[in-house]
Amino acid sequence: MRNSSFIKICALAALVATNGFAIESNQAKIYEAQCVKCHGTHGEGNPAKKGPAVNNKSIGDLQIAIMDLQGNMSINGGGSGDHDKMEHNLKSIEKKGYAISSFEMAQFMYNSFNLKAKKK
Ligand code: HEC
């Protein structure tokens, strides 16, 4: 039956869309609570904490960096290159009950901070 498999696909899509009930999953709030101190209110970075600016990266670069920092990097066949990149470990932030979505966080950071995105 074609119809029933279509319904199954819809149900699956709905499930995927509503997954991830964590304590805090609003990326803007997570950024404010957990990232501002090192990356700045406008993504300008904070030299005192060695946090680099994140207002000059593409969405793709941000997402890949976040996945890398989450330890979820397997796109390039595992082992993600230079791990002096692990000075901060997003896993420890996630353990506090923050659900970081690399895609949504990258979108948030890009749309809020990136100067090119603002100009339109
Ligand atoms: C304790 C300070 C600190 C906190 C908190 C912190 N970061 Fe970072 N972040 C850094 C440092 C230092 C680097 C660069 C070196 C490294 O990767 O360890 C970095 C690198 C990054 C990069 C890669 C930037 C690049 O140039 O490639 C991204 C993206 C990023 N952080 C996102 C986040 C997000 C999202 C959060 C909050 C969930 C966060 N960071 C919290 C210090 C911090």
Nearest-angstrom CA–CA distance, 97 and 88: 16
Domain boundaries, the chain: 21-119
- Over residues 3-19, the pLDDT tens digits come to 677 777 666 565 555 55
**97 CA distance to ligand 1 middle (Å):** 18
CATH number, domain 21-119 = 1.10.760
pLDDT above 60 for 54: yes
Rounded to the nearest integer, the mean pLDDT of the chain is 79
pTM: 0.77
pLDDT of residue 79: 46
pLDDT above 70 for 114: yes
Nearest-angstrom CA–CA distance, 95 and 88: 13
C-beta contacts of 37-40 below 8 A and 24+ residues apart: 38/88
- Over residues 70-90, the pLDDT tens digits come to 876 655 444 444 444 445 678
Query: 59-70 vs 102-113: helix axis angle to the nearest 10?
Result: 140
Identify the residues whose C-beta falls under 6 Å from ligand 1: 30, 34-35, 37-39, 49-52, 54, 62, 65-66, 69, 85-88, 90, 93, 100, 105
pLDDT above 50 for 96: yes
A 10 A CB-CB count for 99 gives 17
**43 CA distance to ligand 1 middle (Å):** 10
Residue matched to tokens 């000075």? 87
Transcribe 33-48 into DSSP letters: IIIHHHH-TTS--BGG
